[in-house]
A and B are shown apart, each in its own frame.
Chain A
Amino acid sequence: MERIPILRMGDLLLVTIQVDMHDRLALALQDDLTARISETSARGVLIDISALEIVDSFIGRMIANISSMARVLDAETVVVGMQPAVAITLVELGMSLAGVRTALNVEKGMSLLRAARGPRGEESGDARAET
């Protein structure tokens, strides 16, 4: 079965969805990503959906769920590159993905993650040093 690749960049994970998401693929991604976050203790996750052209309410909810799960595992999640048509569809479906961070492209997502992590990263580093 095909799987969505999860790339590791330092303490960030990069998920690029290049194929049409179907339900089983989304569920597999959910499993893989949560496993990888706890494995690598990643601090940030970047989900690039710029190639995703069709969404339904299930995929929309999966995106929201995956980012909530990543947040529970203490990794900031940013969804980047959403197509206008996808954004309109999600809004019309009544899914505002509240609480999900978004950015226009990977570059902006990266800087958003870095900015969010910057001060906190040091703090947690200190905290870890103490324990």
Chain B
Amino acid sequence: MNTNGPSRLPELLKQHEAELLSEWIQEQKSSSRKGTQTSEKEVRARCAGFLDRLNKAIQGNGLADTGGAGWGDLREVLADVSRERSRQGFSPAETATFVFSLKRPLFALLRRELNRDPEALARETWASTELLDKLGLYTTEVYQKAREEVIQRQQQEMLELSTPVVKLWEGVLALPLIGTLDSARTQVVMETLLQKVVETSAQVAIIDITGVPTVDTLVAQHLIKTVTAARLMGAECLISGIRPAIAQTIVHLGVDLGDVTTKATLADAFAVALQKSGLTITRARGQ
């Protein structure tokens, strides 16, 4: 790219680092939105760190290959900024602005220094635009990744939170399901239920689907699998909490629940479970 001699950018950056820094901070202050928590000190530290690393990377490795090892330090600084901003609730655009706002002071600097050589000015402007664009896009990428990590962690937590197996009575377990059942969740549900069946030597397990928003053929199939697995272990499974709308869907879809006992409410299912265990409930005092 630099057919007309090496780029002067590294040299210029080195000479005017302090100047560039103060201009950049000014620029950021004017463009940042109102009421942000980032203090000026923090901004200054961030900018200084960034410029310092940028300088080192450019002096050592040149402008090409921003993905290389020599730029690792700089990428780390950017990743830090990006993660912090995503946690503080900045938008991706605002995060990338951190890098893009360097353009104006940098271009101003180039114009001042190279005003006698329009050819070189154009070339350096292009080179620095390309560089800053790459870095800006990198912050967006990291931002996205940080967000995805948060989502994944929450999903995992949901998975762990949402499958409690509770003991209702000696030998009677209940499994209140909340939220949509997909394959991954069914697997967890099945495993925890069967494990609990072994631990408590339960004879009856009630799967309550009051909190399951929709039942399609796949969900029904998952339910049947769970019931069958529990039966193989010698525990009987009842399904309760079937809402009228869900009953209609099941029939419309032509789902065959087989010989699975289904009840409208958990209370009904519990009564059946007690009956199967040979227990009855009586009023303490006849009234």
Contacts and interface: CB of A to CB of B under 8 A. Distances in A.
The answer to whether A and B interact is: yes
A105 B232 contact: no
Contacts of A92: 225
Interface string A83-97: 110111011100011
B261 to A, nearest CB: 16
Interface string B185-199: 001001100110110
| Size bracket, chain B contacts | 10 to 19
Nearest to B230: A87
Interface string A16-41: 00000000000000000000000000
Interface residues of chain B: helix, strand, loop or mixed (majority) = helix
B201 A91 contact: no
B201 A82 contact: no
A61 interface: no
B203 interface: yes
Nearest to B201: A104
B198 A87 contact: no
A87 B232 contact: yes
B234 A104 contact: yes
Contacts of A88: 187, 190-191, 194, 229
B263 interface: no
Contacts, number: 55
Which of A87, A102, A109 has the most C-beta atoms of chain B within 10 angstroms of its own C-beta?
Answer: A87
B234 A103 contact: yes
B231 interface: yes
Contacts of A3: none
B231 A84 contact: no
A91 B228 contact: yes
A120 B200 CA distance: 31
B191 A84 contact: yes
Interface residues of A, number: 19
B112 to A, nearest CB: 71
A82 B191 contact: no
A88 B203 CA distance: 18
Given A91-B225, A108-B203, A102 B231 contact: yes
Nearest to A80: B234
Contact of B228 (A84, A96, A104, A109): A96
Given A91-B225, A91-B229, A84 B198 contact: yes
A105 B201 contact: yes
Contacts of A90: 229, 232
B218 interface: no
Which of A84, A90, A92 has the most C-beta atoms of chain B within 10 angstroms of its own C-beta?
Answer: A84
Given A90-B232, A104-B197, 5 more contacts: A79-B232, A88-B191, A88-B194, A91-B229, A102-B231
Interface of B: 187, 190-191, 194-195, 197-198, 201-203, 225, 228-235
Interface of A: 79-80, 82-84, 86-88, 90-92, 96-97, 102-105, 108-109
19 contacts: A84-B195, A84-B197, A84-B198, A86-B232, A87-B194, A87-B232, A87-B233, A88-B187, A88-B190, A91-B190, A91-B228, A97-B232, A102-B232, A102-B233, A102-B234, A104-B203, A104-B234, A104-B235, A108-B203
